[in-house]
Amino acid sequence: MDARKGIRALSTVKKSTAAGVILLLLLSFDKITTPVEACVATVTTPTVTTCVDPSTLFEEFDDATLSLDTTGTQAVGTKVVATCEGQDTMFVVTYDDGTIGRQDQDPTPGNKEEVLTLRCTTDGSWSTKTVDEYSVSDSPVRTSGTVTDDVSITCEPYVKED
């Protein structure tokens, strides 16, 4: 049925609104070539605009003291600096993929702090990098990844690796 015939048919159906609506729907679907086209939908992934309060990712032990320069829910792109202070401290990070990294750049007695920077990513997780300058290997061990689980990062006194 072409559009002109449909309009004429619609004008003759003045009293039956339901019939007019059905006719318009039929005209609308006249251009669809397959039944599948009528069911095609676009799915969009919601955009994450924040990350959880970074303080939920941390735990401090014994004589180590944790401090964060920012707390509370944070916008994507925000950087948070965490400091682990004490006589000789380190961060231990358990990444989402199960990798464990240590942030330990100066294990000398009297070292006052280790610093760890986190960044809020577009998927709502926190990304970070660690460097263990004093690992049992001959060179520094570098790790990176994301953390989303509560207590994924500990601030603790330095313990020599075996």
Give me the chain's average pLDDT, please: 79
Question: What are the CA-CA distances from residue 42 to residues 39, 66, 91, 124, 153 (Å)?
Answer: 10, 46, 44, 23, 39
Examine the domain organization and report whether 84 and 17 are in the same domain: no
- Is the per-residue pLDDT at 22 higher than 50? no
Output the pLDDT for position 139.
82
How many angstroms separate the first and last alpha carbons of the chain? 82
* Residue 33 domain boundaries: 3-39
Tell me the CATH number at 99.
2.60.40
Do 35 and 55 sit in the same domain of this protein? no
Q: What is the pLDDT of residues 58-112, one digit of tens each?
A: 999 988 999 999 999 999 999 999 999 988 889 999 999 999 999 988 656 656 7
Instruction: Kindly state whether residue 162 falls inside one of the protein's structural domains.
Output: no
Say yes or no: 64 and 135 in one domain: yes
What is the mean pLDDT of the segment spanning 47-53? 88
Q: What is the pLDDT of residue 11?
A: 45
Same domain, 61 and 85: yes
Q: What is the pLDDT of residues 147-158, one digit of tens each?
A: 999 999 999 988
Residues 10 and 67 in one domain: no
**pLDDT number for residue 6:** 47
Same domain? For 54 and 35 the reply is: no
Q: Looking at the 3D structure of the chain, how many domains does it have? A: 2
User: Which range (17-31, 45-59, 89-103) has the least confidence?
Assistant: 17-31
Domain shared by 68 and 136, yes or no = yes
